[in-house]
Structure 1
Amino acid sequence: MQRVAAKGRLKFISPQLPRLVEVPPVSHDWIHEIKYDGYRTQVIIDWDGARAYTKTGIDWTARYWPIVTAAETLGARDAIIDGEVIAPKADGSPDFHALRSAMAWNAERLAFVAFDLLHLNGKDLRPLPAVDRRAMLWDLIKPATGAIQFSQHVEGGGADFFKGVERMGLEGMVSKRRGAPYRSGESDAWLKIKCYEFSELELLGVKRVPGKPPMALMGQGGKYAGSAFITLPKQIRERLWKRVQAGREAPVGAPSVNGVEWLKPGLKARVKHLRGESKLRHASVKGIVED
């Protein structure tokens, strides 16, 4: 059923965004959560029912209908909940590659992991400390075992928490100042720390566009593995450009990409990338290995 715009409905609030850093904060002024690999989502509940919006405010209520249905049973007169939509595996960890398929064909598999509460029963909660908002969120959604779940946190011990996240093979973690208010946009009060690993991969080709960082197309076992930014010192980059063989045919399985200069076999690169992905994500070339 298509919803009709109505006066007085709660409006979408631009989300607070974490700033990417290399290491987690270590003071006890921070709380730490798992960074769920999914789609940032805002669920709004008011007299007109429940709705779900993407990070940029696009209405995805129809795609997330099981989550929206569950939200309407929470018992709040009105609320705005911030969280992440995931497709959980059997062990509860997010399966990013199954997410889009679940959205299209099996929405019942989706779960909304709630981690903040911006509004509740006529009150704007954004000025309150993060830990107070989260306590109110838990009271609203507990026991949080169905389509709407709760993002657990620990207080302090950021370094140890990150080690645990790495051991579990997760994407990363988010650290938040326990006493900070909620403010839209990127903020130092929220930090994200991602888990990476290094792999030695075949360098298939490069794409150079003026004004943009050059990209490397990588392969593994004769198959295309994804692309990575080339972040190398000037001297190494110049040696690499000399290996570029313009006009060489694309390797088998490589994507159809305009403007790629393919390389002859025999060149590998040491690539830093997010762990546990079927294709490279957030990847960068850190070194060249010549046979």
Structure 2
Amino acid sequence: MSLRAVAIERQHRRRCLFKYDGYRCLVKKSGETVELVSRNGKALNDSFPDVADAVRQVPGDFVWDSELTVDDRAGHSDFERLQQRARTRIPLRVHAAARESPARLYVFDMLARAERDMRAPPLEVRKQRLRDSFENSAVLVYASGIVGAGEWVWEQVISHAFEGMVAKRLASPYEGRRSPDWLKIKNPDYGRPAALSWARRYARLDRSPACQQCSLGSIPYPVQIVTHSLLR
């Protein structure tokens, strides 16, 4: 049975979300300190200060899991423009790039809140805590997903040319690795040469010891513990 068939057959026990075409981004906030960290441990603050500023406005300390994108006017993720922004570091050019190619953060999970590690509670508990933590804006978007509608979500993926969908078991804890609790189903007709090139470039880096750590500095427990385990 295919992953899509499993997701649809068990859709009433899973929350199905669109899979956005961007950078997986770990978001850490402690006081006024915000860190945006890519899956391979790369700091993204310098290239995306607009996103860091938006996160800074959210009350409290937390760790989020999210997808960082640059969308076109039709609402589709534009990976090439995202890469261009990520390569831009000179402040004047960064501000110009933010105006021309505004970034968006689709936030889909909460790993820590204040001094509480949130990875063990079920997905539905984490989603509710996340939903209560901020309001949607042009930059920050709560990726809600839909329970019991896997077939409909997949139809939208195909008709609107999204990258794919993710079907997450409602009772699942957070795991920073591949798991049958989270089924990722790719759209077979979706293509993005730039993204495939990026993936090949960092495939080995993702598994290297250097990417198991990042600059944690002032980020306290449990945020530090959650961050370290996520990047392993």
Q: Normalised by the size of structure 1, how large is the TM-score?
A: 0.59
How far 1:156 moved relative to its partner?
A: 1.6
How far 1:81 moved relative to its partner?
A: 0.6
Contact 1:24/1:158, CA 8 A, preserved across alignment: no
Q: Does 1:49 align with 2:41?
A: no
How far 1:158 moved relative to its partner?
A: 1.5
Counterpart of 1:195 (choices 184, 187, 193) is 187
In 2, Cα distance between the equivalents of 1:187 and 1:150?
23
2:123 corresponds in structure 1 to 130
Cα RMSD for the two superposed structures: 2.2
Correspondence 1:87-102 to 2 at 5 A: 87-102=70-85
In 2, Cα distance between the equivalents of 1:116 and 1:37?
17
How far 1:165 moved relative to its partner?
A: 1.0
Contact 1:23/1:193, CA 8 A, preserved across alignment: no
How far 1:115 moved relative to its partner?
A: 0.4
Q: Does 1:70 align with 2:54?
A: yes
List gaps (5 residues or longer) in structure 1.
1-19, 198-273, 283-291
Q: Deviations over 1:21-59 (max 9, x none)?
A: 454512211000000000000110013511110112222
Identical-residue share of aligned pairs (%): 24
- For residues 280 and 126 of structure 1, do their structure 2 counterparts lie closer, same or farther at Cα, with a shift above 3 Å needed? closer
Contact 2:62/2:111, CA 8 A, preserved across alignment: yes
Counterpart of 2:159 (choices 167, 171, 179) is 167
Letter in 2 for 1:194: K
In 2, Cα distance between the equivalents of 1:280 and 1:98?
11
List gaps (5 residues or longer) in structure 2.
89-93, 198-232
In 1, Cα distance between the equivalents of 2:24 and 2:3?
19
Local SS of the residue matching 1:188: coil
Identify, as 1 or 2, the structure richer in helix: 2
Structure number with bigger Rg: 1
2:14 corresponds in structure 1 to 30
In 2, Cα distance between the equivalents of 1:157 and 1:35?
15
Letter in 1 for 2:52: V
Higher relative contact order (CA 8 A, sep 6+): 2
In 2, Cα distance between the equivalents of 1:67 and 1:189?
30
Contact 1:24/1:162, CA 8 A, preserved across alignment: no
